[in-house]
Structure 1
Amino acid sequence: MARILQAIIAGALLPWMTYKLGKYLFSEAIGLIAAGISAVYIYFVYYAATLMTESFYILAILASLYMAMLLVETNRSTEKWQKVKYALLLGLIAGIAVLLRQLFMLFVPFLFLWVWWSGRKTGTKSLIPALVLAAVIIVTMILPFTIYNYARFDRFVLLNTNSGYAFFWGNHPIYGTHFEPILPPEMGSYQELIPQEVRSLDEAALEQELLKRGIQFILDDPGRYILLSLSRIPPYFMFWPSPDSGTISNISRVFSFGLLWPFMLYGLIRVPFWKEAKFKFKIVSPYFLVYLFIFIYALIHIMTWTLIRYRLPIDALLVIFSAIPLYEGFHYFSGRKALKA
């Protein structure tokens, strides 16, 4: 029952949010096309039907970006309550995204910096008070978990203890210069990679120790780390079938990102030079915020750990860009038919 309920809610909200963002960035037509693609994008359908928070995390990211854009836009008006409303919503939704995935905290400073700069250049007043309000909301949402963790472990743990483990395993010398998204059996298990002398530590202490050792791996051989990070790019953007993957995984990959990546890439390249674009492409434009998120979010994973599902928030934005060539193609061919008639 829970799985069905999640599939219905996520299956409705994600296309709706895609439509809202697509309409804001481009036009209603592109928003509708993007929403249609999002509704049948196999990866989104699959994760909406699983008892995972992936779909709601993606939804929170899209909504956070949208609220940031609206906050900057309202700064051009004199309606103070509108700024307060969008600052509250930005803080609440970004806070939800952080609670779902602590990783999003790494992007929040870039998000706030864009809002501040864009508001400063295009608006009538500084957006610093609005950003302070949003930040207070995020901190307030995180604080109960931090307090609970301190009471449990007697040390500071912001939200969870995942990052240290992931950073240690993702940059372990066992990979050499070639990253494996899932450690194969012949290389041992992830648990076996943890040194025996630190296994007696509690969860939080072990996480912090592993983070230190992961950083030391990089300092000991930065050249290897650079090559290892570069080797994470192909699996992160993988769109072809693999003999190591199951049938469902291969079908999902090929018939979602595999089919759409040429359209996504075309849209990304097209927008800065597109005469029909709603905004001029510059730092203060909403387009720049989208490109910034795609770059930063991909870079974080390329530098740490890559799995295909870690790319899905980027896919959700790229789906909007994939609608551009479809929109142009429809108008081109409908125009030719009209000329022939």
Structure 2
Amino acid sequence: MNCSRDISAAQLKREEGILWAILIAALGVRLAYLYQAVDTPLFDVLLIDSEFYDRRARAIVAGDWLGDQPFFMNPFYSYFLAVIYVLLGAEYWWVGLVQAVLGTGSCYLIYALGRKLWSAQIGLLAAGMAAIYQPYVFYDGALLTAAPITFLNLAALYCLTHAQGAARWLWGAGLLLGVSATARPMVLLFVAAVAGWFVAQGGRRGWRQWGLVAVGCGLVVGAVACRNYLVGGEWLLTTSSAGMNFYVGNHPEANGIYAQVDFLSSAEPDLEREAFIREAEARTGRELTPAQASRYWLVAGLRFAVENPLAYLALQGRKLYMFWNGVEAQNNLSLYLARDFVPLLRWCILGWGLVAPLAVVGWATSRRSSLLDLYLASYLAACLLFFTSSEYRLPVVPVILLYAACWLANAAAWATGGSHRRLLGSCLLVVLVALPINYRDAGAERLTCKRVDYYNFGTLYQRRGDWAEAESMFRKALRIDPSFAPAASGLAAVLAQQEGGDSDIQRGLEFFGAGEYEAAIAAFSRAQPSPGLHNNLGLCYYRLGQWSEAAAHFHKALALDTSYARAHFNLGLVYAKQGDDQAAADAFAQALELDPNHAQTHYRRGEVLLRLGRPGAAEAHWAFLHARNPDDARLQTKIDSMMQANP
């Protein structure tokens, strides 16, 4: 009896020692990441959502804690940052430190779930993998919602697995899920679906238990909805962006991940909100509130699904592929970009492509948790409903790690127990599952190439007036893809600024905007030559009707930068004015090679091809435009009139 108790105490002490080692390692890895990242662009400038959250947090600290319009972005993270700024200081390092602690806490909760649902061995294995899981280390150091959401959801799952009908645990789970929903509402699908789990566990008593969870969640979400009504006069559950996000994931050009729709000039939240509302108003012909605009885009996305069932089914397949694929599809900061600046990430090789195959086979060959299965299925359903991204699937990684740990524990048992044939068969199955998970088609591979990420950072530095850093970022983008026109244009503008022609260029642009083209030419002529400068001079001569001079400057721009898509387009306009439609068609074709989605180029090339007697080729360009703008009656009228004039 005493011997058994001594063995149990020794095992518990050994387990605690391993757990502490894992947690210390998890915190150490995250602090090392912060140390390497803090003096890099990852912390120097904030991108898209991070910039919004930071700006809103500073406004909250300054006293604007309520805001003056319904939330467009999920509100939790801005208030989370504001608390850190007040208590510790408005430095990004402090945010990273707090999130490093949360990430370490998530490792502990993964251990606790594994121990409760399976064994201490599985809990320790899963926590150990979480400590060095590359996307966790990255997101725990990013000013994004991923780290708090993962911690909140794990804490809620911990409460649910330990509740045993106790009201305080169920209330706690509901409150945690409610807070998580204010960071990203996808978890509400799980809150609804878990009712079935409660009923399956306890019958009618299960309904009462789920009610406590639902009420706890509803108190938090309801408070946000009341705030939205108070400041905006409309009932919105958490934000006014649900319909827009649904449309982004469900329209004719959707590709399963976040991608800007054609009428968006920027993914920055404030501009995105305005663009979606403005476009909805243009299509409906009336002013819309944020809630009405959201409903419009929701209906537009549903209409696409109903009217194009085969295309919608194919899109769902694409989302499913991207959800299970090893690529980390960013919709903000890129993990692949971060690896260029933080060497530690390159050493943390554990990622989705390694653990997901283990998890799939572990799930198939081990005892399963219906609660965790339901949680994973709910997040998968949410991604299929909207779109897939690395951040959106990150909350299910704990489930993946736990099932991967199940497989590792089974494999160890088979190896030590002499079941070598079973071990070999299971290993072969892991390899077979790993092949599709790690296969990258062209679309998935593009997400790893980083050209857009460097361009985005170049734009941020350019906006800040840091010309040297902007030039460095644009050049890195062009080294990845020399034909990337936006980076080439950005580089040209930055070089013009660095060469001292900034005041002359600024005056030239002001004259151009006022229609004083000769004065603009005089100002531009005093600046240092660059592709952008010659393009501007060409446009001035074009507006003056001096076609030869305009063409000469567009040629000079292209001599300096052959990948300058806008100069090719403008040269095509000149050729069209000179009556050389074939040369115009060729110039427009070159512009489209560099910028395939430029709408004006498609339209103009369609015009000249029609004049050249090639209506079929012209219609192909207009079909592209019509597919992107199906409700644009003016576009269709123009196309019809040209076709009638050139039968």
Q: TM-score range, shorter-chain basis?
A: 0.7 to 0.9
Of residues 181, 188, 198 in structure 2, which corresponds to 1:105?
A: 188
**Aligned-partner Cα distance in 1 for 2:263–2:294:** 22
Residue of structure 2 in register with 1:88 after alignment? 171
Q: Does 1:174 align with 2:257?
A: no
Q: Which residue identity does 1:142 align to in structure 2?
A: V
State the structure with bigger RCO (CA 8 A, min sep 6), 1 or 2. Answer: 1
Of residues 213, 229, 234 in structure 2, which corresponds to 1:155?
A: 234
Of residues 187, 194, 207 in structure 2, which corresponds to 1:128?
A: 207
- Following TM superposition, by how much is the alpha carbon of 1:329 offset from its aligned partner in structure 2, in angstroms? 3.2
- 2:351 counterpart SS class: helix
Contact kept? 1:241, 1:254, Cα under 8 Å: no
Cα deviations by residue, 1:140-192 (Å, 9 ceiling, x for unpaired): 212221111112222211111221111112111134xxx15243799975767
Contact kept? 2:111, 2:124, Cα under 8 Å: yes
**Aligned-partner Cα distance in 2 for 1:245–1:296:** 25
Is 62-71 or 27-36 further displaced after alignment? 62-71
Q: Does 1:119 align with 2:198?
A: no
Contact kept? 2:179, 2:221, Cα under 8 Å: no
Of residues 317, 321, 324 in structure 2, which corresponds to 1:237?
A: 324
Question: Would the alpha carbon gap of residues 139 and 184 (structure 1) be closer, same or farther in structure 2, given more than 3 Å must change?
Answer: closer
Of residues 409, 413, 420 in structure 2, which corresponds to 1:327?
A: 409
Alignment of 1:1-341 (within 5 A): 1-71=93-163, 74-75=164-165, 83-120=166-203, 126-175=205-254, 179=255, 181-183=257-259, 189=265, 194-195=279-280, 196-197=282-283, 201-239=288-326, 246=336, 248=338, 255-271=350-366, 277=367, 287-334=369-416
- Following TM superposition, by how much is the alpha carbon of 1:218 offset from its aligned partner in structure 2, in angstroms? 1.5
**Aligned-partner Cα distance in 2 for 1:141–1:241:** 31
- Following TM superposition, by how much is the alpha carbon of 1:45 offset from its aligned partner in structure 2, in angstroms? 0.8
Question: Would the alpha carbon gap of residues 11 and 174 (structure 1) be closer, same or farther in structure 2, given more than 3 Å must change?
Answer: closer
Contact kept? 2:133, 2:349, Cα under 8 Å: no
- Following TM superposition, by how much is the alpha carbon of 1:323 offset from its aligned partner in structure 2, in angstroms? 0.9
**Aligned-partner Cα distance in 2 for 1:245–1:84:** 41
- Following TM superposition, by how much is the alpha carbon of 1:247 offset from its aligned partner in structure 2, in angstroms? 5.0
- Following TM superposition, by how much is the alpha carbon of 1:306 offset from its aligned partner in structure 2, in angstroms? 1.1
Compute the RMSD of aligned alpha carbons.
2.9
**Aligned-partner Cα distance in 1 for 2:213–2:363:** 30
Question: Would the alpha carbon gap of residues 152 and 266 (structure 1) be closer, same or farther in structure 2, given more than 3 Å must change?
Answer: same
Cα deviations by residue, 1:36-91 (Å, 9 ceiling, x for unpaired): 101110111111111222112112222323322333xx24xxxxxxx122222222
Q: What is the identity percentage for the equivalent residue pairs of Structure 1 and Structure 2? A: 23
Contact kept? 1:58, 1:312, Cα under 8 Å: yes
Cα deviations by residue, 1:226-265 (Å, 9 ceiling, x for unpaired): 11111122222221599x9845479779741112222111
**Aligned-partner Cα distance in 1 for 2:219–2:249:** 31
**Aligned-partner Cα distance in 2 for 1:9–1:46:** 14
Question: Would the alpha carbon gap of residues 172 and 112 (structure 1) be closer, same or farther in structure 2, given more than 3 Å must change?
Answer: same
User: TM-score of the superposition, structure 1-length normalised?
Assistant: 0.79
**Aligned-partner Cα distance in 2 for 1:317–1:155:** 37
Residue of structure 2 in register with 1:80 after alignment? none
User: TM-score of the superposition, structure 2-length normalised?
Assistant: 0.44
Question: Would the alpha carbon gap of residues 186 and 141 (structure 1) be closer, same or farther in structure 2, given more than 3 Å must change?
Answer: closer
Look at both structures and tell me which one has the larger radius of gyration over its CA atoms: 2
**Aligned-partner Cα distance in 1 for 2:396–2:191:** 16
**Aligned-partner Cα distance in 2 for 1:66–1:288:** 14
Q: Which residue identity does 1:297 align to in structure 2?
A: Y
Contact kept? 1:239, 1:254, Cα under 8 Å: no
Contact kept? 1:68, 1:86, Cα under 8 Å: yes
- 2:253 counterpart SS class: helix
Contact kept? 1:235, 1:308, Cα under 8 Å: no
Is 97-106 or 15-24 further displaced after alignment? 97-106
- Following TM superposition, by how much is the alpha carbon of 1:298 offset from its aligned partner in structure 2, in angstroms? 0.7
Contact kept? 1:238, 1:308, Cα under 8 Å: no
**Aligned-partner Cα distance in 2 for 1:249–1:229:** 30
- Following TM superposition, by how much is the alpha carbon of 1:335 offset from its aligned partner in structure 2, in angstroms? 5.4
Contact kept? 1:229, 1:304, Cα under 8 Å: no
Contact kept? 2:256, 2:316, Cα under 8 Å: no
